[in-house]
Chain A
Amino acid sequence: MNTENSLQATTAVRPQLPDTRTVTLRVNGTTHQLQLAPWTSVLDALREHLQLTGTKKGCDHGQCGACTVLLDGKRINSCLTLAVMQENKEITTVEGLAKEGELHPVQQAFIDHDAFQCGYCTPGQICSVIGMVNEGKAKTLDDIRDLMSGNICRCGAYINIVKVAQEALEKNTGL
């Protein structure tokens, strides 16, 4: 047994290293041109290339939700999509929510309800609440719990997060 997977390594003509190309990403209303290889995820592009580290990596496999951003207003896992596939889409990260120093109501509600502890899942949770409001499908408390289940909080702040989400729905504080 090798760490190298011999079967797959021998197939086809594989480039030794991928070529980079200019990738245009629209993030929080700003257009960025980056030199990226196709193997860079949106998440790694944000964190390692744009220094927008507000979006977190918690698993890199779509199993935790820490990397949640809004893509044209809808929430997605930024770890599971390639930067080259998201050109010319509007990406909103946690850094793009406050306007002129004024927190987005959902950000303020997270503080007021103490809906976090370590804060690492928080940007993803905030984007997820806003996405949930935008998507308009949550009607009941159980809907909220289920539709917020894509964001794991190991500190266990769910009770307070759900309270924020309820309030955001009532006040319709989307993007």
Chain B
Amino acid sequence: MRPFTFTQAQDVDTAVQEVSLEGAKFVAGGTNLLDLMKIDVMSPSHLVDITQIALETIEETEAGGIRLGALAKNADTAYHELVETRYPLLSHAILAGATAQLRNMATDGGNLLQRTRCYYFYDTQTPCNKREPGSGCSAIQGYNRDLAILGTSEHCIATHPSDMCVALAALEATVHVTGKNGERAIPFADFHRLPGDTPHLDSNLQPDEIITSIELPAKGFAKHYTYLKLRDRASYAFALVSVAAALELEGDTIKEARIVLGGVAHKPWRVPEAEALLQGQKATRDNFRKVAEAYLQGAQGFGHNDFKIELAKRAIVRALEQATNR
């Protein structure tokens, strides 16, 4: 860990001012940032502690949805009555990630900003375009079991590691941010980026911006949902493939379907055109498989992760079955 200066911001405006200094970063839960600072993958020269800012409230919005304060803890969010009853998909997704200890520390805003767990990103003695642009991607020709099969580029095949974000994408959340130029709202689908030729950028959040809240619309799919996470051990592991599935059913006919994949791309992976295939269709295995095929169109494996293509298809079918039968 390299030396850094440290300040605590009491309000959003100060935080935005402070983070505008070159080399500055916010710290809140710290669960990923300190992890990375210790191995020199991230090395801010100035840390702005934002935990004193009053941004931890979870409340209903006028639009009938809810607003998650950016500093609400993952655990408090997952166990919040409003979330458990109206957005159980989100609750389940959060609880599928990390551990009780980490969820007690990690914040909702920070969860969005998690970095990839790619083996090479985590080892400064190996080339990695995300960590050191232009140094090359070790994973494409190397070990890539955990890595992406969709939306990859020749520069990077990292995945976004969050479970929570997969559910937020399915629920069409909006991310509210404040920067030097004021406030703006970013639809969840536009929050994270694909690697393209700028793999060092994970999201479209600007360096001077702070996430203030995450807003969920009224529709919570509390009746037919599932978060299915497949991993290499039963708990405390990142997803090989995960699926957030939410259905609105009328009898056995699907009115609306939401399907988002985790563990397969640089962002939660949603294909609205493929989702639309289910609209007005019966909730059958055959129809689910059709959607699954459509979702994985264009998927490309890199050797060790080839299996994810078939696994993701089967996971989609299983998740939709579970959501239907719940």
Q: Is the CB–CB distance between A15 and B4 below 8 Å?
A: yes
A13 CB within 8 Å of chain B: yes
Q: Identify which of B5, B34, B104 contacts A76 (C-beta below 8 A).
A: B104
Complex Cα gap A152–B4 (Å): 32
Q: Identify which of A41, A77, A135, A146 contacts B102 (C-beta below 8 A).
A: A77
B203 CB within 8 Å of chain A: no
Question: Chain A 129-144, CB within 8 Å of chain B: the 1/0 string?
Answer: 0011001010000000
A149 CB within 8 Å of chain B: yes
Residues on B with beta carbons closer than 8 Å to the beta carbon of A131: 100-101, 104
Complex Cα gap A75–B236 (Å): 16
Q: Identify which of A18, A85, A128, A152 contacts B5 (C-beta below 8 A).
A: A18
Complex Cα gap A131–B129 (Å): 40
A174 CB within 8 Å of chain B: no
Complex Cα gap A152–B43 (Å): 28
B146 → chain A closest CB, angstroms = 15
Residues on B with beta carbons closer than 8 Å to the beta carbon of A16: 3
Q: Is the CB–CB distance between A76 and B101 below 8 Å?
A: yes
Specify the chain A residue showing the minimal Cβ separation from B102.
A62
Given A12-B21, A61-B38, A80-B35 in contact, is the A5-B234 Cβ separation under 8 Å? no
B235 CB within 8 Å of chain A: yes
Q: Identify which of A5, A39, A74 contacts B104 (C-beta below 8 A).
A: A74
Specify the chain A residue showing the minimal Cβ separation from B49.
A85
A82 CB within 8 Å of chain B: yes
A92 → chain B closest CB, angstroms = 14
Q: Is the CB–CB distance between A17 and B38 below 8 Å?
A: no
Given A38-B6, A41-B34, A77-B31 in contact, is the A12-B101 Cβ separation under 8 Å? no
Residues on A with beta carbons closer than 8 Å to the beta carbon of B105: 76-77, 80-81
Complex Cα gap A5–B132 (Å): 8
Q: In residues 91-145 of chain A, which contact B (Cβ within 8 Å)?
A: 128, 131-132, 135, 137, 145
Given A17-B3, A39-B3, A132-B100 in contact, is the A11-B30 Cβ separation under 8 Å? no
Which residues of B pack against A, CB within 8 Å? 1-6, 21-24, 27, 29-31, 34-35, 38-40, 42-43, 45-47, 49, 51, 75, 79, 98-102, 104-105, 124-127, 131-133, 135, 234-236
Shortest 5 CB-CB distances between A and B: which pairs?
Answer: A150-B99, A12-B23, A149-B235, A38-B6, A12-B22
16 contacts between A and B (CB under 8 A): A1-B135, A7-B132, A11-B23, A14-B4, A15-B3, A18-B5, A38-B47, A61-B35, A76-B105, A80-B34, A81-B30, A82-B34, A85-B30, A131-B104, A135-B100, A149-B234
